[in-house]
Amino acid sequence: MEQDYNATLMKQRALDTVLGKVARSLSLVEWKTFDSGNFNRDDLYYHLNVQPNLNDNATEFWQKVIRKLFYEDNECLIIVTKEDYFLVADDFQIKEFAVYPNIYSDIVVNGLNMNRSFSETEVIHLKYENTDLKRLVHQLDDSYGDLFARLIQVAMRTNQVRATAKLTGSLSKQKNAQSYLQTFVDKVFKAFSNKTVGVVPLQDGMEYKEHSSSTGIANSQVDEMNKISDEYLDAVLQVVGIHPSLIYGDMADVSQHKDEYLINVIQPLVEQISDEINRKFYTPKEYISGNYVKASTLKLRYINIFDIATSAEKLIGIGSFSPDDIREEAGYERLENAESSAYYLTKNIEPLKGGENTE
């Protein structure tokens, strides 16, 4: 039981750290809805970014999705109601077809059976092709659980208060000496266990002596336990694709690791969600006409607007983007005036010439 408890502590810490990191990242994604190629905040935008359903905000919703997707089931079924609310299914059965839409039945949401089947067109079905995470956690429980439990036992013995007590002189010769000594020991134990400062009076004929270990050894055992817990966490981070420095913050420059995390972990997830939403909410004709959902990960890449000031200036200066385009990408409203909608060329960019035939 103690081994299971110790392993559970490390598992909970690792999963909360890893899944929390991914869920927080996903909650910063802005799901932009477009109508005829123009950004338009409609009901779908509100449900994706603010309130997916009546009981969850967007952050809580994506946390549920990530836990289902990354650890519990390696897949997540999201039911879309007629009001375009999104509900995460706790359990479901799927009947797959080759050329017809799959059918989902026995769907349970927050303990409520939906009492009907859903077609593939009525749900968002996400899959996470990384079964290594759950398998790794079980393997780590078996190996690190024993080791961590052993370290705790050693630490408890190291920090244990060991003492001897005895009666001397006339007290030791009394008829009830053993009972008297036990009462004294019980008082010592109670005073030292329940009080920050324990004081026990000693009478003539009483001796109390401690034989505890040194503090340095105790601190060493605590350091070893922390090291084992960190190794457990590092193993889980590695299998998901998160560099430990993004969690511990022990490096001055983590830009490369951050880019790798966004490219290898977040971007594939965002693409899958975007594809599912677009194919379920828009017909091919509507999509081609400019009606679609596009995910913006800009908030994940910079902390404040000044971080992209230089890049924004260059994009405007080469005439590729207008100030309004940059404002929109940065999450600000378009000004929609002549100056903000215009395209500017401030760089000396000319067509490459030379080598013409002069004959």
pLDDT at site 160: 62
pLDDT tens digits, 340-359: 999 998 877 777 666 556 55
Range in 30-44, 285-299, 328-342 with the lowest mean pLDDT:
328-342
Q: Amino acid identity, residue 51?
A: Q
pLDDT at site 190: 75
Greater model confidence, 141 or 79: 79
Whether 314 has a pLDDT exceeding 70, the answer reads: yes
Domain ranges of the chain: 157-231, 304-359
Range in 9-18, 183-192, 250-259 with the lowest mean pLDDT:
183-192
What's the rounded mean pLDDT across residues 49-59? Answer: 95
pLDDT at site 135: 77
Structure tokens, 38: 């123009």
Select, from the ranges 189-198, 222-231, 272-281, the one with the highest average predicted confidence (pLDDT).
272-281
Residue 259: CB atoms within 10 A of its CB come to 11
Structure tokens, 251: 């490096």
Q: What's the distance, CA 286 to chain centroid?
A: 35
What's the rounded mean pLDDT across residues 58-80? Answer: 92
Greater model confidence, 134 or 244: 244
Greater model confidence, 342 or 142: 342
pTM: 0.73
pLDDT at site 55: 94
159 band by pLDDT with thresholds 50, 70 and 90: low
pLDDT at site 2: 47
pLDDT at site 32: 93
Q: Amino acid identity, residue 4?
A: D
Greater model confidence, 192 or 6: 192
Select, from the ranges 53-57, 144-148, 306-310, 315-319, the one with the highest average predicted confidence (pLDDT).
53-57
Q: Are 21 and 62 in contact (CB under 8 A)?
A: no
Task: State the Cα–Cα distance between residues 145 and 23, nearest whole angstrom.
Answer: 27
Picking from 216, 264, 259, 219, the residue whose alpha carbon sits closest to that of residue 238 is: 264
